Amino acid sequence: MTASDSRPLTATRHFPPGFLWGAATAAYQIEGAAAEDGRTPSIWDTFARTPGKVFEGHTGDVATDHYHRFRDDVRLMAELGLNAYRFSVSWSRVQPTGRGPAVQKGLDFYRRLVDELLAHGISPTLTLYHWDLPQDLEDAGGWPHRATAERFGEYAALVADALGDRVGRWTTLNEPWCSAFLGYGSGVHAPGRTDPVAALRAAHHLNLGHGRAVQALRAALPAGAEVSVSLNLHELRPLTSAPEDIEAVRRIDAVGNRVWLGPMLGGAYPQDLLADTAHLTDWSFVRPGDLAVAHQPLDVLGVNYYTPTVVAKVRDGDAAPRDDGHGASAYSPWPGADDVAFHQAPGERTAMGWAVDPTGLYDLLMRLAGEHPGLPLLITENGAAYEDEPAPDGSVADPERIAYVHGHLEAVHRAITDGADVRGYFLWSLLDNFEWAYGYAKRFGAVRVDYATQTRTPKASAHWYAKVARSGELHAPDAL
Task: Check the CA dihedral 176-182-188-194 and report its sign.
Answer: positive
Cβ atoms of 432 and 64 closer than 8 Å: yes
Q: CA-CA distances (angstroms) from residue 118 to 82, 380, 427? A: 12, 20, 19
- Of 407, 385, 398, give the one whose Cα is nearest residue 468: 407
For the chain, the residue count is 480
Q: Could you tell me which residues are beta bridge partners of residue 228?
A: 171
Phi and psi dihedrals of 95, rounded to 5?
Answer: -140, 85
Non-local (6+) Cβ contacts of 362 within 8 A are 1, 411, 412, 414, 415
Catalytic residues: 175, 381
Contacts 24+ apart (CB under 8 A), 189-193: 189/47, 189/131, 189/327, 189/436, 189/437, 190/42, 190/43, 190/44, 190/46, 190/47, 190/48, 190/131, 190/132, 190/133, 191/43, 191/46, 191/47, 191/133, 191/138, 191/142, 192/47, 192/50, 192/53, 193/142
Q: Are 292 and 264 a contacting pair, CB within 8 Å?
A: no
Q: What is the 3-state secondary structure (H, E, C) of 214-255?
A: HHHHHHHCCCCCEEEEEECCCCEEECCCCHHHHHHHHHHHHH
